[in-house]
Amino acid sequence: MKISQDLLLERIRIKSAVEIQCWPGYSKADCSASTPLHRYPEHLHPEPLAQVLLSLTLVPDKVNFPQEELRVLDYWKSIGAFQKQLKLTSSLPPYVFYDGPPFATGTPHYGNLLAGTVKDICTRYAVQSGRYVERRFGWDCHGLPVEHEMDKRLSLNSAQEHLDFGIAKYNAECRKIVALYAQQWKQVVERFGRWVDFDGAYRTMDLNYMESVWWVFKELYNKELIYRSSRVMPFSTACNTVLSNFEANSNYKETTDPSLLVTFPLIGRHKISAVAWTTTPWTLPCNLALSVNPEFDYVMFEHKGERYVCGKENVEEVRKLLGVAKNAELKVVETFSGKEMIGWKYEPLFPYYKDHKNAFRIIEGEFVSKRVGTGVVHTAPGFGEEDFNACCRAGIIKPESPPCPVNDSGQFTDPVVDYKGVYIKDADKLIKEQLKKKKRLLAASSVRHSYPFCWRSDTPLIYKAVQAWFFKVTALKDELLKNNLEARWVPHNIREKRFHNWLADAKDWCFSRNRYWGNPIPLWVSDDYQEIIPVGSVKELAELAGIERPADIHRDSIDGIGIPSRKGKGMLRRIPEVFDCWFESGAMPFAQCHYPFDTKDPEFSAKFPADFIAEGLDQTRGWFYTLLVLSTALKGTSSYKNLIVHGLILAKDGKKMSKHLHNYTDPTHLANKTGADAIRLYMINSPVVKAEGLKFSDNGVEGIVKEVLLPWHNAYRFLVQNITRWEMQTGKTFVFDESMKEKVTSEAANVMDRWIVAAMQNLIKFIRQEMGNYRLYTVVPKLLKFLDQLTNGYVRFNRSRIKGDTSLQDWNTSLNILFNVMLNTTIAMACYTPFTSEMIYQNLKNGITSTSLYSAESVHHLRLPQADEELIDEEIESRVGRMRNVVALGRAIRDKKKLPVKQPLQELVIICKDTAKVESIKALERYILGELNVFSIKYCSNEEDYVYYKVDPNYQAISDRLGKHVIKALRPFIENLTDSQIKEYTQHSSLTLKDNEGKEYKLQQGDIITTPIFFDKHVTDGKYGCACNLEGSVMLNVEVTEELNKARVARELTNHVQMARKDANVNIEDSIVVYYSVEGEELKSIVEENMGHIRKALKVPLVSIAYMPNILELIYKDQYTLPSSGRVSYILGRSHVVFDVEKIKEKLGNVRMAELNKALREIIEMAYDEVKEIAVKDELEIVVDGKKLKLKNGIDMFLNIEEYLKAKQN
């Protein structure tokens, strides 16, 4: 900011001690006069003197948030802010946080950044609340995410190709990817302001972590919770591995598949066929049975001369699949029960399993549905869990050897010789053609349906019989349901519905994977699997195998290690499978601290369970689930006490964010445009923190900058400007006075001061209450509402006080109040907007004594203050709230009528029948008059003559709380509420209703939505504009008279001059004078009538251009034109002293005029502020022709032309 040299010299004399004010992290040498301009932090103006002289650094008009954030990052790094915070809080009670490990692939997307923001907010708040919080980052290094990316890079598509490439070489490449992405993650995460320990991060690929996972597994094995079985499981042919059920359920998509009606001729029943429907033609070569529900009725129907069998309730569905017209019916010729059909035999579709014992007959299947298909289900036990179970019960297959002629890459193998080597989905068309040739295809079309895709490769899954290892989760179901209730979930309905239902239906967990880059399952077995040895540590492996301890335990390091059999079965070898990476992340509470090896039980109990975890909604079937399962099995309890579930972030178009689709802006690019704080605030002020979805919009982020961060910054800049003004005028250094209580509790205290302090204390109380319950979704809106109260309420209503238009004492009070609130706001916002809070705090702390509790190196080293209950005043908050609501309604009318605030209006009508409310509004009337620019306010108590209430029942809310049956009982009463009932509900947010049977039901807030509406006769009245809400109703006289127009012109002129001052870089501290001239009688009349208002607004001398001296330092020249009415020309000049030359000459006597003018010119050419200081002391002396004269201020000389003219008039 530009400050005149004279002004700066003046301030040097005022301050007793000169200290250079530097941006923290920069040395005084960096801020010295000799420093090149490009080395200055942009936060500081490059004029060296400006930094020497101000107790608080002047704030530029415009702020570049991204650049400021980068400076804050530099500052944090320079002082080791995060490490210092840990050191400062190390003696405080610990707060345990578990960080869910992201996969070490790719760079962070908005979902990752959202999770990181939620974690950062809650852990920062824990520190603010007096806790010590370790925050270790974690990396999920193993498993499909890394392997799938590596497979694409190396073009590896099958198990044999992996073995040919070499497991050791493959794992080395995977390790490189992890290291590559880890550094990129660190840069992005830190750029978004999260404080987390990357250097001490745990990694699932590290030896200590892997060893603890082995211990976890052995404990489960010893508890008989581990077993091997053949099951039909979700299988990813792209990744060549089995998946768990919760992985398969995590990525359902809409996809199009074939829809075939296939016939199965019944043996011994001439020209009669059972009809089955399938969307997986590739499974038909492996058909071994047909399943029917024995409890259903079935029918025989005729179609085109043939007879077919289907479920009675499925006839309509079959008609649609056959394409038979709606008005035509399928002729039913016979009905029989499903039970009668059991044992019927049919002709095989394909010959591959024609000799299979007990096959090709109809069997029981209770899973058969009436809702879809034909009621007859094609059953291939190798490719469906229900098929598998039904065929096992029917004795068609043995559980350990179901027919499954499809390899891990999804290609057919023997005995399906006709399609051997063909990918199953490619075989669909070939199979369809074969069915046509055999006349077994009754109808063919396609169907759009939801289907599971691989969560990593994004390819369709299949269900395939595999030999795998399982964790017996079903044995823990009751305990899991009980432990689930011990943790607090936010929002709570996820725990009670989604997660509870998932646990109640939990299946045994298939945790083995047929992969390479993973933690090997530590089971050494004999060839016949009759001898199995679980290994729980590296030491145990070395002892059992008689070798040195291996330095690494990945497959390439230990697959060659054998353990001698204890039963004479030769050398035991490790099974080829590795752990599901979700097993490893679920073991995180134990493995991150190398339990029970480096960390023993007493120490571990201080780290378990976690006080807090947070992840996305998708983790209800992922990390949240595996954490609970493993901790329940090992410790009998949940591994977390509090859990926040956030929703998923989608692109603006509602689709999944995709680099391929280019449907989102890279997070780092957007942060460099808007700042990371804006992105953080945008995300956490959205439904996504209530586990709902968010369609991410760059415009939404920019809206946060415009509507939240800029107003906050402008209020902060306004505070600093006026502290500087106060210092200039008083000659004192501003020091924040923390004794606020006395300033706002006295009867003489300003009502706005009392209001904003009360609101601030209430906010702190609310934050502590709600953050203690982890409800970010209530805290953030409250914070933003308070920022609006501060910037658009307190600062707007008190601009003149804060600028010093009242007494010095009141000025000092208003500055201290605003400083207090700005400081506490900055601390309260620090968790949510860490950069902006730090930027503001680093300047504010220059006005705080070093012994204050508010003094620290970083705002993030401060505690959130406790709320002072004595300063909370609900009544005054309500009063100001009502007043602000009136202002908001008035502005809404102005906006609707397109009447800018600069246009004065005659009258505002406030409609309210509550006398107490009216009196409270009257007490604050002056603020309404000023904000709405109206001359008068009128009050009307007959509210019913103006407004009626529209009622909208919220049946969903009523149903959720009271039950669906209540809706039917109460609907006629709710839809016919009387005026008195509506009034009662509006006033009290509750209403008791009785149904026809006299049973009472209490409606609460939110059950009914009432909306006040003005009667049409008032809305259509052109003289007034109307606006109302539940808090009040107002009417604004929108007629613009000639007198009102004149007042508007005067205001426009004033604004025009003010903008000229801004364009000329004239600061509030600079002494100037405005000279003007008016052309046009109409405009001249307007200026003369409103001169008092114009002078008051400009706060500088306003003088006719006729009195402008010849010697004037010109600053700016411009003119304001009013079409057809004239124009005002004006000149901004530096303030100067004015002399009464005649009076001075009279006092000096006979002197030469040329010498007198010379002496006076020398004074005029001096620095104005220096002349001013001397003149006010009456010590200004001139010497003319040897004669001395001390000039008297206000008699011989005047500090400005305006004072001179007033004196002459008197």
Q: How far apart are CA 173 and CA 158, in angstroms?
A: 17
d(CA 585, CA 141): 10
Q: In terms of Cα–Cα distance, which of 720, 620, 633, 710 is closest to 674?
A: 710
3-state secondary structure of 95: strand
CA angle 632, 633, 637 (to 5 degrees): 20
Compute the Cα dihedral for 894, 898, 904, 905 and give only its sign.
negative
Q: Are 1096 and 1052 contacting, i.e. CB atoms less than 8 angstroms apart?
A: no
Q: How far is CA 444 from the centre of its chain?
A: 48
Instruction: Give CA–CA dist 422/428, Å, rounded.
Output: 10
**Token pair for residue 233?**
């499981």
- Quick one: which H or E segment has residue 300? strand 297-303
| Residue at token pair 């291939």 | 380
State how far the Cα of 482 lies from the Cα of 147, in Å rounded to an integer.
37
Write out the two tokens for 472: 């017996």
Q: Which helix (H) or strand (E) holds 898?
A: none
**The pair of three-digit structure tokens given for residue 679, joined into one six-digit string:** 């992105």
**CB 1032 within 8 Å of CB 912:** yes
The residues, ordered by sequence, that sit 6+ positions from 1166 with a Cβ below 8 Å of its Cβ are none
3-state SS track over 1110-1152: CCCCEEEEEEEEECCCEEEEEEEEECCCEECHHHHHHHHCCCC
479-504 burial: b if 16+ Cβ within 10 Å, else e: ebeebbeebebbbeebbeebbbebbe
- Read off φ and ψ for residue 909, nearest 5 degrees: -110, 125
Task: Give the pair of three-digit tokens for residue 582.
Answer: 């979700």
Nearest 5°: the CA angle 183, 184, 186 is 65
What are 151's two structure tokens? 């497979």
3-state secondary structure 1185-1199: CCEEEECCECCCEEC
Q: Are 435 and 441 in contact (CB under 8 A)?
A: yes
Is there a contact between 647 and 693 (Cβ–Cβ < 8 Å)?
A: yes
Buried b (16+ CB within 10 A) or exposed e, 796-819: bbbeebbbbeeeeebbbbbbbbbb
Looking at 603-727, which runs of residues are DSSP E strands?
613-616, 642-646, 649-650, 694-695
Helix (H, G, I), strand (E, B) or coil at 234: strand
Contact indicator for 649, 162 with CB cutoff of 8 Å: no
Active site residues: 101, 140, 582, 619, 623, 656, 659
Which residues are CB-neighbours of 190 under 8 A, at least 6 positions away? 73
Containing H/E element for 534?
A: strand 532-534
CA atoms of 1191 and 1156, how far apart (whole Å): 13
**DSSP-assigned letters across all residues of 700-761:** HHHHHIIIIIHHHHHHHHHHHHHHHHHHHHH---------HHHHHHSTTS-HHHHHHHHHHH
Nearest Cα neighbor of 333 from 310, 362, 361, 363 is 310
Handedness of CA 323, 326, 331, 334 (dihedral sign): positive
